[in-house]
Amino acid sequence: MYTPEQTRQLQELSKSLLKKLSQKSLNIKDLASLRNVLVFHEYRYYILNDPLLSDTEYDTLYKSLEKLESENPGSITPDSPTRRVAKELTKSFPTVNHLVPMLSLENSYNEEDLVDWDRKARELTGLDAIEYCVEPKFDGASISLIYENDLFVRGATRGDGVQGDEVTTNIKQIRSVPLSAAFSRFGIEQVEIRGEVLMNKENFSKYNRQLEEQHIAPLANPRNAASGSLRIKDPAEVSRRQLEVFLYHISYYSSSDKLNVKKGEMAGPEQAHDAKLKKAPHTHSESLEMLWDLGFRSPKKEKKVFLSIQPVIEYCQTFEAGRDKLPYEIDGMVIKVNDFALQDKMGMTTHHPRWAIAFKFKARQATSKLLKVEFQVGRTGSITPVAKIEAVPIGGVTVTSVSLFNEDVVKQKGLLIGDSVLVERAGDVIPYIVKPLAELRTGKEKKIVFPKNCPACGDELVKVPEEAVLRCININCPAQVVERIIHFVSKDAMDIRSFGAANVQKFYELGFLKDVPGVYLLPFDRIAELEGYGEKSIHNLQTAIEESKKQPLHRVIYALGIRYVGETTAKTLAKAVSYLMDFKNFSLEELQSLEDVGPKVAGSIIQFFNNRDNIKMLEKLEGLGLNFRNTRSERKGTGNLASQSFLFTGSLNEMKRSEAEALVEEQGGIILGGVSSKLNYLVVGEEAGSKLEKAKKIPSIRILTEKEFLKFIGSSKGK
């Protein structure tokens, strides 16, 4: 897509635009350059996965494009990166016709099926050998995209294959879908492309963890996550889900009149007299390369061409063996006749093309029996029903335990003890029960009865309105304490390697560990007396515990296990303060002004910091040497505002709040999330509210009007 020379030039251009921006000399003449560099950096980030700018640099350029465009609305182009953003909710997803029906694929499940298919294909074509192109079968939601005159104009779901739902705005939220692509270079005016929308495994796990934190039943697999996401009416939410796409098939194209190419045909070599006009692909493999060169994410690197079926089979098997290592789910491979002319000759049935076949990987579903249901107590006291099933191997792992999440899920599925059940385990995803096989019931199955008392401490359980979970509200319930400590030491939290759930459980039972601060006060002399704890393992554990004291603030916040505060929220919170204990002074309103912090999350944070026991625990942790400070503010900045903290309140006249904040950060200053003694400057716009009142009570805070701030920042710049 970009030559090394173009890459170098665009990178230089980006740097010079950033410089101009800091000198405030960016103007309308830079608009096209800004757009080009942003499209280029989106490509580096979302297609190549190899960014050349930091997130902040990208955001700064993006914001300046937004600003220039809002000042010059006439200059906005439909493929500007800012056009992805939709301000309104989607009202409906109208039904639309696909230009060409979206057919399905014939399936094969083993070597023999493929050998058979190859034999039939050779018989049909009268050839001794056929060239095949093999690529992954992506396990997501299929879509079709239409580009007209190089612009993305429509995106639709598969629907029934003939008609689908129009989801253009949602597809624009997928940053690996280019808003424009130079099909005209191939003499193509209108084109329909097929592909698959995916949520990669990492994002899927993160998304599910967020759902679990809110006690919403997690999604079964990334496929459901992708197809569900395409039908969300809030495009901003679609954007947050960080979907990806692979495009693998051109189903239709028509050529521009001036090239005099017949509809349904690409400009061939004879039309390619124009030096700029590219030679159109004649094979599937070339078409994947063309898509890649036009800026699409196609399986260009994953595809491989073979001259006979045996190496095709081996390639499929290699992929199957490595499927768990891929960042996204695939459920098989697709084998396609490579030559387009031969494809045309072979044609299609009403169901599938004769020139392609799917090689399906081994199913990750199995049947088992529901033996009993146990109830586990989580770190926030939530009671989770867990199905114990007859051991069954699925995808190389023996499954005996499957979470049922909550009472509603059990009811929805209509599960009974003794039921035969269909179980699925997709890759790294936790196993789940798809459904009971009701037709196999004998009549001896029993109802699942939820407990009235906590299985760990015996206290009466509470059902919170609007929540599907039962809860034990005894904060000292041993099961909760253990779970809180397990969460605290876990990989995504304080990451104390070699600690692990088993050690937490053991040390707790032996009375060596009573609470979270106890992690830093372990009696190692007594642990050394235990079997299996040699000098080396104790040393490793001690080092890991000591090292964890240096963990950044956001990890500490996440590790505390505050309800509804996941990793993302913890990062937002860490950015909002320079010192953890500042949260004691935050109001509900201030917390809600932070990105993605709603009333529920804010309420939970307030509750946590208003609890005496929690404050005592925090004081202990700080005394034990944990890092409670935001390293950003400790870092000596190089700008003139280094280590000076700012907060904006009310509406500004001269610029957007985000721009003012960027100005501060450019000069090494810090933006705080709330008023506290750590704040140096409060900049007050129109209709300032409670923050101003609060700041007036802290004498060390200097209050600036917007004018004063601009003067201040201007003079500080000149220094």
Q: Residue 303 CB, nearest distance to ligand IVH (Å)?
A: 9
Q: Is 659 buried (19+), middle (13-18) or exposed (0-12) by CB count in 10 A? A: middle
Establish if 134 lies at the interface with ligand IVH (CB under 6 A): no
Q: Is 363 buried (19+), middle (13-18) or exposed (0-12) by CB count in 10 A? A: exposed
Alpha-carbon span 356 to 359, nearest angstrom:
10
Q: Is 87 buried (19+), middle (13-18) or exposed (0-12) by CB count in 10 A? A: exposed
Q: Which is nearer to ligand IVH, 35 or 137 (CB)?
A: 137
Two structure tokens written together for 631: 């390293």
Q: Which is nearer to ligand IVH, 353 or 517 (CB)?
A: 353
Establish if 651 lies at the interface with ligand IVH (CB under 6 A): no
- Please indicate whether residue 263 is annotated as part of the active site: no
Q: Which is nearer to ligand IVH, 318 or 611 (CB)?
A: 318
Establish if 292 lies at the interface with ligand IVH (CB under 6 A): no
Contact 244, 297 (CB under 8 A): yes
Neighbours of 680 (CB within 10 A): 16
Q: Residue 662 CB, nearest distance to ligand IVH (Å)?
A: 42
List the catalytic residue out of 29, 63, 120, 137.
137
Stretch that binds ligand IVH, among 97-105, 316-324, 520-528, 592-600 (CB under 6 A): 97-105
Contact 310, 254 (CB under 8 A): no
Stretch that binds ligand IVH, among 136-144, 212-220, 271-279, 704-712 (CB under 6 A): 136-144
Alpha-carbon span 710 to 706, nearest angstrom:
6
> Of residues 138-157, which lie at the interface with ligand IVH (CB under 6 A)?
138, 142
Contact 680, 701 (CB under 8 A): yes
Stretch that binds ligand IVH, among 131-139, 265-273, 276-284, 409-417 (CB under 6 A): 131-139
Alpha-carbon span 290 to 283, nearest angstrom:
10
Alpha-carbon span 673 to 575, nearest angstrom:
8
Partners of 648 in beta bridges: 683
Sign of CA dihedral 316, 322, 325, 330: positive
The owner of tokens 């202990």 is: 620
Contact 117, 357 (CB under 8 A): yes
Two structure tokens written together for 262: 């017949």
Q: Residue 196 CB, nearest distance to ligand IVH (Å)?
A: 5
Establish if 248 lies at the interface with ligand IVH (CB under 6 A): yes
Establish if 105 lies at the interface with ligand IVH (CB under 6 A): yes
- What character string, x for contact with ligand IVH (CB under 6 A) and - otherwise, covers 331-360? ---x------------------x--x-x--
Nearest CA to 240 out of 289, 197, 195, 207 is that of 207
Q: Which is nearer to ligand IVH, 1 or 346 (CB)?
A: 346
Alpha-carbon span 93 to 157, nearest angstrom:
10
Q: Which is nearer to ligand IVH, 142 or 255 (CB)?
A: 142
Stretch that binds ligand IVH, among 133-141, 451-459, 637-645, 710-718 (CB under 6 A): 133-141
Q: Residue 197 CB, nearest distance to ligand IVH (Å)?
A: 10
Residue count, binding to ligand IVH (CB under 6 A): 15
- What character string, x for contact with ligand IVH (CB under 6 A) and - otherwise, covers 669-688? --------------------
Binding site for ligand IVH (CB under 6 A): 103-105, 135, 137-138, 142, 194, 196, 248-249, 334, 353, 356, 358
Q: Which residues are catalytic?
A: 137
